[in-house]
Structure 1
Amino acid sequence: MSRTTTRRSLSAAAAAERGQGGSSIDRQRRKLLVPFVGPAFIVYTLLFIIPAIGAAWISLHEWAGSGPMKFVGVKNYIRVFQDDLFMKSFGNTLLLLFVVGAAIFILAFAMTLVLRDMAGKKIVRNVIFFPHLINALVFGVLAGFIFNPGGMVNTLLKPFGVTEPPAWLAQDNIFPLIMATLVATTTGYFTTILMAGVDRIPPYYYEDCALAGANAWQRLRYVILPLTWDVFGTCAVLWTISSVKIFEIIWVFGGSSGAGIPPTQSWTTAVYTYVTAFSGQSTPAYGAATASAIISLALVSVLVVFLRRAMRRDAVEF
């Protein structure tokens, strides 16, 4: 029997098997779908889908957290977008997302390239990853102590003749300090992820580059970036989700100025949502707060879909 006849026979057998409900492997997979995926889907539905639907319903009402709910439709969303404080908070969230994100990824990738061939890079990797293990509240408290009027920075400036040190925690200065703190405490985490992506590249790619006479830029452009592009995409999605949820460090850092609630110049949508719902006013506005949270969720969803599509490339197997 010729190879062509054999292929035709196998194709016909496979087609017949699919017509009978799929291959035995497919049938086994479908049988395992319910016991393995079912519990996870139930938990996901209970912890995310149902609360998300409930939040969307609350955002269409005026509600103080107890008592009757008054249906107002999209008025809460209109109210939020007409609030200058929300627009300022939304702008700060975008600054964290894009400006801080760009600084983190530039520094993380530069550190990855520097540490790639360094002796003892495993020790350095553990050291730079360590800040990620510390709660953001700790960094907020430490930063507040460092930059308060009698803190370490102003104390170090006195020997240099700075008799009137800057008010680091003032309204106009606090958000840039928060941005710098986030860069300092988050860069190591993404450096560790990028280093893992670079380390998985087989050595023979670099050997081929050396034989071809490729310089450092060509090795970066044609080997390192293409083979770690999926890692960059994952990091971009992780930062997009994390940046919109940043709350603790802002609340503690801003509260260290003595006002309790952070200065409005440092608010993000997460802080705005919390203050609107639980603090800063006599009657909590859960409807408006939930509308703010829904807007943040929509922002994250749109950006994640955009990033996944924009950074999509053919998979490179090695």
Structure 2
Amino acid sequence: MSSTTARRSRSAAVAAERGQGSSIERQRRKLLVPFVGPAFIVYTILFIIPAIGAAWISLHEWAGSGPMTFVGVKNYIMVFRDELFMKSFGNTLLLLFVVGITIFVLAFAMTLVLRDMAGKKVVRNVIFFPHLINALVFGILAGFIFNPGGMVNSLLKPLGVSEPPAWLAQDNIFPLIMATLVAVTTGYFTTILMAGVDRIPPYYYEDCALAGANAWQRLRYVILPLTWDVFGTCAVLWTISSIKIFEIIWVFGGSSGAGIPPTQSWTTAVYTYVTAFSGQSTPAYGAATASAIISLALVSVLVVLLRRAMRRDAVEF
């Protein structure tokens, strides 16, 4: 009899717990609409509807006004057959991988150097400062520094270099842009990585010292595993940023005196802008939108691949 009563009591307790859980779930659902609904409406108006409209425009020939002629996937085929787009696409991949890897290697090295340095907070603020300045400013400054009468050539002449390199020539401008991006962006990612390293509890390092672990073992078994999620976040941030790089390339082109940047320095963002607004008697909004959607698809695929490639069991501490 007592066992039957105990089972009934447990059943009642389980039922009550389930009822309480379902009540909480109903309350959450009631709060979902008033809190998430307005944000979803704004997101739909500002992003989803324009994205659908852009996809529709990409299937037409359109000059920005007047009638639209439906051409299906013709714009996409034309974009992929355009050697200039493929060159721009290749430059975008160079920025993504070559510049990205260089930035992360330098940022992580600076993080390790600054980790135990006195006054690292001041250094962190200094190296983060360039991120607060618009990329246009750095493009303008770089143009002044590297133009034929600029600071670099003025410093080289006293050293016996009678004919300094033409830094802003078409063949040199893209490597110069890559170097500028590394110089401007490394401090930003260093700050993020430093925050990730600083959150590691000190007792991990104390355990390593007691176990006799060397610097490489501390890096491999402590620092990298405990900051892997930070690396993943940085990789996604750089992927999104590198696809959108436009201002600094455009300003470099103006510095070279051509107005429109040399085609050797174009990325998909520049290609999209020029196709839509510049360099043609009749703007091709359909083709430009098609190239923009291709860039969006590239970002989406790369972000998914990065998240999967960098997926790892979470380490709690």
Both proteins in one fold, TM over 0.5: yes
Give, in angstroms, the shift of residue 24 of structure 1.
Answer: 2.6
Give SS of 2:171's match. helix
Give, in angstroms, the shift of residue 27 of structure 1.
Answer: 1.9
| Structure 1 pair 103–226 and aligned structure 2 pair: CA distance change class (3 A) | same
Moved more, 23-32 or 34-43: 23-32
Give SS of 1:7's match. helix
CA distance in 2, matches of 1:132, 1:35: 36
TM-score, length of structure 1 as denominator length: 0.95
For structure 2, list consecutive stretches of 5 or more residues without a partner in the other structure. none
CA distance in 1, matches of 2:264, 2:204: 49
Give, in angstroms, the shift of residue 13 of structure 1.
Answer: 4.5
CA distance in 2, matches of 1:7, 1:151: 88
Give, in angstroms, the shift of residue 8 of structure 1.
Answer: 9.8
1:55-81 deviations in whole A, cap 9, x for unaligned?
000000000000000000000000000
Give SS of 1:172's match. coil
Give, in angstroms, the shift of residue 210 of structure 1.
Answer: 0.7
Root-mean-square deviation (CA), in Å? 2.2
CA distance in 2, matches of 1:198, 1:2: 58
Number of positions where the alignment pairs a residue of Structure 1 with one of Structure 2: 317
For structure 1, list consecutive stretches of 5 or more residues without a partner in the other structure. none
CA distance in 1, matches of 2:57, 2:51: 10
CA distance in 2, matches of 1:170, 1:9: 84
1:275 aligns with 2:265: no
CA distance in 1, matches of 2:209, 2:2: 46
CA distance in 2, matches of 1:8, 1:285: 75
1:209-263 deviations in whole A, cap 9, x for unaligned?
1111111111011110011000000000000000000000000012110010000
Corresponding residue number in structure 2 for 1:126: 125
CA distance in 1, matches of 2:157, 2:99: 30
1:98-142 deviations in whole A, cap 9, x for unaligned?
000000000000000000000000000000000000000000000
Give, in angstroms, the shift of residue 16 of structure 1.
Answer: 6.8
Give, in angstroms, the shift of residue 23 of structure 1.
Answer: 2.6
| Structure 1 pair 61–217 and aligned structure 2 pair: CA distance change class (3 A) | same
Give SS of 2:149's match. coil
| Structure 1 pair 68–208 and aligned structure 2 pair: CA distance change class (3 A) | same
| Structure 1 pair 226–4 and aligned structure 2 pair: CA distance change class (3 A) | farther
| Structure 1 pair 178–8 and aligned structure 2 pair: CA distance change class (3 A) | farther
Alignment of 1:33-112 (within 5 A): 33-112=32-111
> Identity, % of aligned pairs?
93
Alignment of 1:109-258 (within 5 A): 109-258=108-257
Give, in angstroms, the shift of residue 32 of structure 1.
Answer: 1.2
Give SS of 1:113's match. helix
Corresponding residue number in structure 2 for 1:7: 7
CA distance in 2, matches of 1:7, 1:141: 79
Give, in angstroms, the shift of residue 200 of structure 1.
Answer: 0.5
Give SS of 1:260's match. coil
| Structure 1 pair 79–211 and aligned structure 2 pair: CA distance change class (3 A) | same
Give, in angstroms, the shift of residue 25 of structure 1.
Answer: 2.2
Give, in angstroms, the shift of residue 281 of structure 1.
Answer: 0.5
Structure 1's consecutive aligned runs of 4 or more residues displaced over 2 angstroms after TM superposition are: 1-20, 22-25
TM-score, length of structure 2 as denominator length: 0.95
Give SS of 2:162's match. coil
